[in-house]
């Protein structure tokens, strides 16, 4: 019987190297493909999130601006320490405006109209039908969580709408002294005496002209990105905890809303980097949005067009970002 030897053929070194090289190439290709899949998924998720956020924030800003006194809107340049009327706000970094007492109006505490026949000019009394000064006081006190007498402390004021109630109309030839911005005079705002009662509003100063329509105002508002503010000023003066913001970049891209301050009392918003003629920094602050790379405002006919741009990193190396912009016009 003949016994034959059986030899098993194995891999040579060159073959093994080739297998390893091919496997490496396939692994790299797979990794790159997975990375692209991840980035596409992350990008899609970020776009959806930013789109929803931009819609919500734009609606909130539009709602706030809807209650503005049209001619009171200004742009404030914190570097130049200057402010401009509504027609020039595109050149400024911070948007400010005086707002009507919306809650009191929705509660039907006041009508916003003057009965010219029953008003008495000699005593500076405005007859405002369907108005209740006590109800106004209760609503404003509840809104700002205060027990102060709103009339003695000038927490509300009256601005006459003007002849045409036009948003682009400057009420005074000297705009700087119309609304009290940043320490200037507030010649267009009239405070109400505490002796007012029912629908009779007694003013503390004599207006040169009165109109049938007026705005009852209770606060000013300011919108600004952290880039134009100082973190220490907000934390110390606004008493707002910013510990949730990680670094300076995140702070710069945070959009803040300031409220509950009154320029006609020579107050400016609590986060103002400059006192700039005002006597004190007052009010509160809240965060409107994060990841805000830009906020701009322009005038469109009699309305305001604002654009807000969101930007978010979707990779740890910050080489891949997603940008979403939203525009809205408020008349």
Distance CA 211, CA 28 (A): 76
> How many domains does the chain divide into?
1
Residue 17 lies in a domain: no
- From 284, 281, 184, 225, select the one nearest 92 (Cα to Cα): 225
Q: How many other C-beta atoms can be found within 10 angstroms of the C-beta atom of residue 220? A: 29
Which residue in the block uniquely carries the two structure tokens 């073959």? Answer: 15
Residue 102 lies in a domain: yes
Element (H, E) at 284: strand 284-289
For residue 144, the enclosing domain spans: 56-330
Q: How many other C-beta atoms can be found within 10 angstroms of the C-beta atom of residue 327? A: 13
Residue 316 lies in a domain: yes
Residue 50 lies in a domain: no
Question: What global pTM score does this model have?
Answer: 0.86
Residue 15 lies in a domain: no
Residue 311 lies in a domain: yes
Residue 37 lies in a domain: no
In this structure, are residues 129 and 200 in contact, taking their beta carbons and an 8 Å threshold? no
- For position 20, what pLDDT does the model report? 75
229-258 tens-digit pLDDT: 999 999 999 999 999 998 898 999 999 999
Distance CA 113, CA 136 (A): 15
- For position 7, what pLDDT does the model report? 53
Residue 140 lies in a domain: yes
- For position 169, what pLDDT does the model report? 47
- For position 168, what pLDDT does the model report? 43
In this structure, are residues 262 and 284 in contact, taking their beta carbons and an 8 Å threshold? no
Regions of the chain where pLDDT drops below 50: 167-171
């Amino acid at each position: 019987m003949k016994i034959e030897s059986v030899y098993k053929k194995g891999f040579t070194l060159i073959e093994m190297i080739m297998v390893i090289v091919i496997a490496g190439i396939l692994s790299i290709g797979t990794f790159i493909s997975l990375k692209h899949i991840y980035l596409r998924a992350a990008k899609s998720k970020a776009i959806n999130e930013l789109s929803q956020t931009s819609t919500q924030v734009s609606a909130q800003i539009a709602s706030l601006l809807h209650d503005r006194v049209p001619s009171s809107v200004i742009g404030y340049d914190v570097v130049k320490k200057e402010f401009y009327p509504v027609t020039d706000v595109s050149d400024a970094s911070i948007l400010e405006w005086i707002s009507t007492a919306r809650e009191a109006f929705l509660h039907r505490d006041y009508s916003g109209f003057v009965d010219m026949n029953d008003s008495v000019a000699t005593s500076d009394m405005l007859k405002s039908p369907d108005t209740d000064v006590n109800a106004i006081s209760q609503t404003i006190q509840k809104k700002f969580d205060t027990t102060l007498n709103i009339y003695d402390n000038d927490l509300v004021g009256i601005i006459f709408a003007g002849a045409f109630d036009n948003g682009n109309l400057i009420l005074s030839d000297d705009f700087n002294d119309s609304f009290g911005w940043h320490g200037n005079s507030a010649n267009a705002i009239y405070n109400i005496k505490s002796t007012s009662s029912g629908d009779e509003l007694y003013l503390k100063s004599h207006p040169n002209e009165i109109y049938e329509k007026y705005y009852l105002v209770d606060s000013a508002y300011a919108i600004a990105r952290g880039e134009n503010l100082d973190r220490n000023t907000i934390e110390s003066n606004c008493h707002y905890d910013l510990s949730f913001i990680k670094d300076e970049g995140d702070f710069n891209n945070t959009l803040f809303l300031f409220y509950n301050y009154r320029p006609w009392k020579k107050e400016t918003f609590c986060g103002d980097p400059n006192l700039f003629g005002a006597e004190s920094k007052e009010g509160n602050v809240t965060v409107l949005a994060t990841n805000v790379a830009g906020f701009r405002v322009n005038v469109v006919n009699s309305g305001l067009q604002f654009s807000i741009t969101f930007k978010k990193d979707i990779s740890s190396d910050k080489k891949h970002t997603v940008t979403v912009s939203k525009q809205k016009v408020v008349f």
